[in-house]
Each structure stands twice: as C-alpha cells, then as structure tokens.
Amino acid sequence: MDFLISAAHAQEGGTAGGGMIEFLIMILIFFAIMYFLIIRPQSKRAKEHRSMVESLSKGDEIVTNGGVAGTITEVGENFIKVDIANGVNIAVQKQSVQQVMPKGTLKDL
C-alpha cells in the first residue's frame, strides 16, 4: 500500500513566511505606489494653484471656490476686490480663487 500514498507528506516542511528582506521590499513598493499615485500629483496641483494665485492682476475674470464669478478690481497682499455686478464689490482671499477665466467670459452672462 505504500506505493499509493505519497511519502512527501511525511517529510518536514520548510519555514512558513518570508524573511525581513521580503517585508522591506513590500513596504518600499507600497510607499512608491503611494508617492506616484497620491503625493506627487497633489503637490503638482498645489504648485500650479500657488503660481496662479501669484499671477492674479487687475482685470482678470475669476471664479472663487464658492462659485462667485467676477472681475478683479484691486489686488492686495492677501485679499482681492472682485466686481460681481455693476457697483457691487466684494473682498475675497487670494487663496479662494479657483480658476482664472478667459477674457470676455463674464460679458456673456
């Protein structure tokens, strides 16, 4: 009957689990994926927003994070004044500007 039963199941098995090197390689791969999928694109978007905020000037047509559209009438250190209707000006923080619109966009509204 010995020829029907494999003798391999009676032998000692090797150690289960990998070593420390395999663990470190997996951690490094995980951090590399996190860097390329999350950290790098976010820092790129932040850099683009920072340069857009620094380049704001009088006469630019903008949209704020709250959805308010208007034309910049005055640029200060931290705040800008935005004309949202004839004679209606509001002050908003520079950082709240979401997008600079092409010239003439607000005339269509």
**Tens of pLDDT along 13-41?**
555 566 899 999 999 999 999 999 999 99
Proportion of the chain above pLDDT 90, given as a percent: 74
- Between strands 88-93 and 79-85, the pairing is antiparallel
Using the predicted structure, report yes or no on whether residue 46 has a pLDDT greater than 70.
yes
- pTM, full prediction: 0.69
Is-contact 73 62, C-beta < 8 A?
no
Using the predicted structure, report yes or no on whether residue 101 has a pLDDT greater than 70.
yes
